[in-house]
Structure 1
């Protein structure tokens, strides 16, 4: 389909017998998908693309050649370098040639690039005999999906980001914001999580920050190196803004080295993984970050009063919760104080405050206000000589029966019984 759109001619020659071979399906699909995707993307109209595969001397030999383009010696030398981009007018190069090279080498193979006056070729050799792998490296329970299906998945990138800002929409799901200038990688990472989470994507740190403010996600996965604003700037912006300071940030980057890892962590990133990443490790890291946040929510819900220093994980969260406490001190007992007034007092939209409180406390804004009123009521009921019938009105409840109902649901007992138990 992609070739027909540009009137490109595909020449495919595969000489592989029916024998049983040993290879990592996931790696091979990513490598072939990337090389073919690049060939189709960067070859001009009416060009020819050749794909050949054969078994030779215990290796799978693959080659992809596209015509109508060429590379200089300098470009050939740098083509597998991380973040090297030859086509400056086109964003992204599939999953990345640097990552492709690392995947091939992870499979104990090698990859080379050649160029003539009118063509560019990539040659790959990957061992495929059982004797070339240890017992620890072999699994026999993997059932590969058809290569056509895997290739189509690789080519089906999101053309219009505005139409796919949120891939799935389900209010009960957590939201993950994925920020990467490589469109294919955004799509790939999204595919790892889109069955469990609502996904929002952005192409750079500047757009990412605006989407973080708009959606207030539960977690952000960002690349380090991006145009306009990189992952470090995105992290700094998020961690220093009251609306987004609580959001865990996972930095994914192909830029290896301790100093880059340190820079990310110093800026406020909560975790750091290098590409190529293991999907299971990525998913477990995300799970751990979200679980850590939920434990803070549980701890908060057990507190009798709001205690910012006990539940925050950064000075910016502490600052926000201090502002929160100040607003509550001044407005909580007013019966007409509602979520709209609360958001306005904090300089946020109602949606931003809802998402922020949901992340920090596990409660909606209305639930939070009611919970704080009940905590204040419980605090007052612990004192002697209290007029129980007046407590509800003092903390902002207009209806005494509703106050009693809410108090019983939260503390498992009526206000009068609670007061007696405290004094006995």
Structure 2
């Protein structure tokens, strides 16, 4: 049976006790609608509640809520139980305390998400096995540091980690420790990029935490600092730590609202066009609404790269991913990643990574 997570915007004055009563009302009649309520999250501060319910359809879930207590959800998305547990830590109600009739769960679903990407700077001849060994070492260190700071690895694919934390403080401290681990292991051919954002699981997007994941991904992809956070994360960290500012001992860049908006527009457009060979800087200027000089200044300030170099490096990263999978030849990789010719692609790849794509062998 499908599993759904829904969002309720709470009116003023509604508390976790009221939400617990609504949850119990759902449980009392759920069998009449073929549903099974698993658990809920309540955030009095942000005036939101989220219900996790197995139901034959969204319509059945809405009917259950309407007839149980009348509170119709603002938004419903279909989810996977494993992913929900990875992000939120549970998929069932916590055990009820003894001698308590109502199971009041004052647990917000707001989470801080961290994306860690391990970037390759060069591939020296005959050293791929050494790089892969270093990657295994970093993977072990990252998982240990995440667990130490009460985080959960939601997804680990290739050189990218998506991690969920209940608190911003734990996420920031975990990121700082990951930086320290990298500095201590000294692998010049690899470097970390960390992006941290925060948000709720259900928005206008179809996927769970989709908006928050996107911002964390963009921060790790775009911002020139190796460790970047959103303004919301900075504010939350300071509120959790009695207005103590982020440590100046580490390079943690905070993007302001204007930079975040530009970053989102830039990445949304880039993801649409990166594989097209006809795209030029003029297309970026026209679609982002920036003059040539303003686009260059903004890119250099935020990304540390000109528009041309940014697009070239984005394509090379995609090409590297394809070459690792060894499912295409050099010509196919070149054209599918937006390069005008295999020769030009090989030249750019060699300049970026220090090895010709024809000599790159990852699975050896």
Q: TM-score, normalised by structure 1?
A: 0.27
Greater relative contact order (CA < 8 Å, ≥ 6 in sequence): 2
